[in-house]
Chains A and B, each alone.
Chain A
């Protein structure tokens, strides 16, 4: 059994091949190149390097969102195409939970911060019971202040990960009252190995969808819809 895992939710493009208990390959690029051009050649590379035939692939794990709308859709369309032809299920993995799994097994709480622009973050708070991930604050798109309130209320040491660390570093310093640390650079960004690691567990629980059913989880409506709602509410 092998799992192909993909994360294209932000600037990092990351793909990995996992077996039950090993990461056979991971290939990540954090550079300004479009996922549209890099993702499929990277998938081709990891499958060839691990001598993975399509018959070997049991399922495809994908960072389903939140994240960059376009990035999520490039990943989604790619896995929907692959899964349709290979006739395998898709395992949707929360991008936020996937980031938290970069620190799987830690005793701290983990709070991923993904830059959602407009002063907001895609975030959530997770912890680990041995190797089982536990959700403390569900994934959401929110401003930093209410998030910090929730973290302070949890009253436990927390490690922040994600690409918005640099944006909110000062804010964390001034407002977080619990002990906290920032993940080192090699653990701070999206990793397909983490998505795959969580994906293997979700697969065992049967939490898969078909290629036809899968759509990204945006956690934010489009600007046009938001403006229309505001207009209808007479704001």
Chain B
């Protein structure tokens, strides 16, 4: 059978990406232009800046994806694009560009759900993988347990009630002075810490056994840091008054509460706390709490659904603690645990090409009115 080549475009957040994928499984090129350095100045993604960067980068990225795949547009069978969920201004750049290319080249257009893309990254990394399987999708914007019944057929089993797991990572990273993006930085620091140093809470949600909540955990960590800062201030004040000076105390009081903006003006998080607990211990304890709920709930959901294959996807799926723990607990329960290679966990277009292939096979082609849908629900078209 003649192979199917899809040119895929992804611009839902702060990565401008394009890829060429053969038969949904083989990546011929996967080009990603990241804006992380730009947004680091602001402590998070600024939508207008992201949109402006997308329009600058999108043509070079597409051209490079075709060149790297050694293909011309004529040889491409369909154009795929992420149309939601995501930042509307960012999505619109990819959608308008993909529609124009599909129209001008006379190729079918396929609109892809961003989360379905993340799930489908596993098809690339694991050529033998076929539905049904359960997938935990964790990123800066999403925390979902999804039952993949068939290609293109999804059922949400669990979701977060507040922050996404990756969002919690970003906020904690900012509070302890690691900067944006938080996930990889907290993960790296955790390796030097004791995950049992501080017992942070694991939230359970009444009647929703597979749902998540990370706001309580986030508050617990921030409170812990604030209490420790206060202790340090008191100690400094005492030391200053012992020495008969008052100026020393002002040094600590003068700074405000962290604003979440630039590093300037925010009070630094101490490197060590009372009882000899380090910043690394705090990071490790926070990460252990996140990983614990993600893993136990995913495995419980897999048992309830009677599936033996569990996959992870999304930016947080490259977190080493999550990968290791999911594999450990999954295998102890007789399950196969899969995750994509790190470059396919982050936002990329190859995963969009993989998801699009199965939509293409089922004849799900979009028309010229395709719009960006920032709040697009899984399974919605």
A contact residues vs B (CB 8 Å cutoff): 34, 36-41, 43-44, 54, 69-70, 73-74, 76-82, 84-86, 211-212, 215-216, 218, 222-225, 228, 231
Contacts and interface: CB of A to CB of B under 8 A. Distances in A.
B285 to A, nearest CB: 33
B100 A223 contact: no
A82 B63 CA distance: 13
A77 B100 contact: yes
Nearest to A69: B48
22 contacts: A36-B96, A40-B96, A43-B103, A69-B51, A70-B88, A70-B92, A77-B94, A77-B96, A77-B97, A78-B96, A78-B99, A80-B100, A81-B96, A81-B98, A84-B101, A86-B104, A215-B55, A218-B52, A222-B49, A224-B42, A224-B49, A228-B41
B92 A73 contact: yes
Nearest to B62: A84
Contact of B104 (A54, A223, A225): A54
Contact of A222 (B46, B103, B370): B46
A44 B368 contact: yes
A69 B53 CA distance: 12
Nearest to A216: B55
Contacts of A43: 103
B96 to A, nearest CB: 4
Judged by DSSP, the binding face of B is helix
A222 B52 contact: yes
A82 B100 contact: yes
B105 A85 contact: yes
Given A78-B97, A78-B100, A224-B42, A40 B51 contact: no
Contact of A231 (B55, B59, B94, B261): B261
A81 B369 contact: no
Contact of B96 (A69, A73, A86): A73
Given A84-B59, A215-B55, A36 B98 contact: no
A147 to B, nearest CB: 25
Interface in B82-121: 88-89, 92-101, 103-105
B371 A36 contact: yes
The 5 closest A-B pairs by CB, nearest first: A81-B100, A85-B104, A77-B96, A222-B48, A77-B97
Contacts of B52: 69, 73, 215, 218, 222
Interface in B361-381: 368-372
Contacts of A81: 96-101, 103-104
